[in-house]
Structure 1
């Protein structure tokens, strides 16, 4: 009898309602750049990150909490917010002890969708905290949904590659009957030796390169450079101790 928990990969937020997530850990994946920035801010000592799904709510919560408001739409800093969605904006000297209120085009939107659909547990993942994500999922022994934030609901390469990296490492701990998971694993296996070279072809790489953000993207696919586990609890993402 197979008693392993299940693992599925959701390639777009548009597909989320096809899955029962009520008894699953949902991993929010937004490699370029929300979940990389969240891990980095927490790794560098942020007290917590408040992920919100609208700019007005971000501004409002910033006033209420005294937090740093940050975010982007279409890759660009939003007018009215103090900072952008670049992980390099949040060194320890700036973010330690602070609350970061963050809104982004894709990642924070998917997180709130997962909440609305009754996700049992939510964490965030990207290459900078790959090992922390994998260790947690194995130890929890629960069903897993790898949720790709995509780009405005369209499939993207970078989030799928991260899902594949997770499956490559720990897939044997799970029962996987999911073609998108098999595809993600194979895609990662083919390109893991040169992620930068492969992802330079990606549409979001081209989009962000136009804003001079290549360094951001190279950081976002660097493994374990901010290896903490952001866990969603009581409206905040905090480091799992």
Structure 2
């Protein structure tokens, strides 16, 4: 820490995570399109927990337990052998409430395991749908933070960078930020802030083009919408569970997209 403020850094790609000290640090796993948006949505809609795994085989094995839903994607499509994909719209309360979601994705779950391997002990997940919960938690905890972007196969992407910038915009007064990656993220976000979806579309972001090519425009709009599944997924003992910051458990979301 520098003075009375903790430090905040941004890793724009998993390939950069090794540059940062993740011990005694809150690591925010960011995979906006779509893993961390789907995690927030499933927990918001009453999932008992989300178990992130790094392989399809592990996901299938854990899915043999009663009350478990297996889900995940590879390259934006449902992975072979799994029941469900990585769309937040697949997990309404009527389907997911009180169930365990076992999830594997191309980038987000991989990054979470990388953070664990590097010794991270304090991990949460962040996305635009739970932006306020993430920002409030970081301010309240008063610990060093690494905003870890899942990117796309180690290539920096626009939407994860924008979310890091959105967090920084909310918390910057409470942290010492001497980090050019954070400055880049915040500068981009301030330009995109009036209409995040339109910004991503107009810039022809690579993941926007990938998912819209699969007909997933509805998912993209949802995943770029702030605070529509505003809970805090916290990782402990192999699973993510929801913290509500003292608020009552919310009702099912009803997106209008």
Return the offset for 1:61.
1.0
* 4+ residue runs over 4 A deviation: none
- Counterpart of 1:227 (choices 230, 234, 237) is 230
Aligned positions of 1:65-214 closer than 5 A: 66-200=67-201, 201-214=204-217
Q: What is aligned with 2:16?
A: 15
Deviation at 1:63, TM superposition (A): 1.2
Aligned to 1:29: 30
Q: Secondary structure at the match of 1:147?
A: strand
Q: What is the aligned-residue RMSD (CA, Å)?
A: 0.9
The structure carrying a bigger helix percent of its residues is: 1
- In the TM superposition, residue 120 of structure 1 has moved relative to its aligned partner by 2.5
Note the C-alpha offset of 1:23.
1.2
Deviation of the 1:64 alpha carbon: 3.6
The 3-state SS of whatever aligns with 2:146 is strand
Contact between 1:70 and 1:103, CA under 8 Å: does it hold in 2? Answer: yes
Per-residue deviation, residues 170-204 of structure 1 (Å, max 9, x unmatched): 11100001000011001000110011111111010
Report the TM-score when normalising by structure 2.
0.92
Query: Which runs of 5 or more structure 2 residues have no equivalent in the other structure?
Result: 245-257
The equivalent position to 2:218 in structure 1, one of 215, 236, 240, is 215
**Structure 1 residue 65, shift from structure 2 partner:** 5.6
- CA spacing shift, 1:233–1:65, aligned 2, 3 Å: farther
Q: Secondary structure at the match of 2:63?
A: helix
